Chains A and B, each alone.
Chain A
Amino acid sequence: DVKVTQSSRYLVKRTGEKVFLECVQDMDHENMFWYRQDPGLGLRLIYFSYDVKMKEKGDIPEGYSVSREKKERFSLILESASTNQTSMYLCASRRQGRSGNTIYFGEGSWLTVV
């Protein structure tokens, strides 16, 4: 089974702190994604990466950056956390190409910024 692992399930950070959310997948997938989930808004795409060192902005990239130095790992970085970034963050991955239709999700990281 494909596994997408988000290392931190629950985090509490202070305003202004630098926050790292880590995601690792074990199926050699080219594409990886970071989504943010908020009530009434569904899932919104923050950033995605279609290969190592490649990244593209999603719909809400402001206040976030990402890093993909290795194929299996995709990190989301909040340079200076703010209270409006309190949310649940979901990582996902898929194989490039039409055969890679299924996107696999991690279990989510709950971030509270106080």
Chain B
Amino acid sequence: AQTVTQSQPEMSVQEAETVTLSCTYDTSESDYYLFWYKQPPSRQMILVIRQEAYKQQNATENRFSVNFQKAAKSFSLKISDSQLGDAAMYFCAYRSGAETSGSRLTFGEGTQLTVNP
């Protein structure tokens, strides 16, 4: 079974600075997807960024980028120029590329990010 681990329960960053959230995962599959989701106080889950395992290039979405290290099974999220609105719980998630029975998302424990003004 796949597992996802986020070893940082809480992180804080000063507004306008950069922060990196860590995520490691364990799988024996070669075809899979990795995601970072943001959950603000409203509790609505928002997709931040997605990475396909077969792509070597790291995904980027505006101020958000990932460092995908496939051999090390590491998938960290970098937030540049942090804004107050970035404060939220961040979840790392894994999904198999095999379309078997709906292909569930497996989540990490979450990292609570605080942005200080």
Chain A residues near B (Cβ < 8 Å) = 30-31, 33, 35, 40-45, 48-50, 56, 58, 88, 90, 92, 94, 96-98, 101-103, 105, 107-108
Contact = CB atoms under 8 A, between A and B. Distances in A.
B43 A108 contact: yes
A90 B45 contact: yes
Instruction: Indicate the member of A35, A96, A102, A105 with the most B CB atoms within 10 Å.
Output: A105
Interface residues of B, number: 24
Given A40-B109, A41-B109, A90-B45, A97 B99 contact: yes
Contacts of B110: 40, 42
A18 B102 CA distance: 27
A92 to B, nearest CB: 8
A42 to B, nearest CB: 4
A105 B18 CA distance: 28
24 contacts: A33-B102, A35-B107, A40-B9, A41-B109, A42-B109, A43-B91, A43-B107, A45-B104, A45-B106, A48-B102, A48-B104, A49-B102, A56-B101, A58-B104, A90-B43, A90-B45, A92-B45, A101-B50, A101-B95, A103-B95, A105-B44, A107-B42, A108-B43, A108-B44
Contacts of A31: 102-103
B43 A107 contact: yes
B99 A42 contact: no
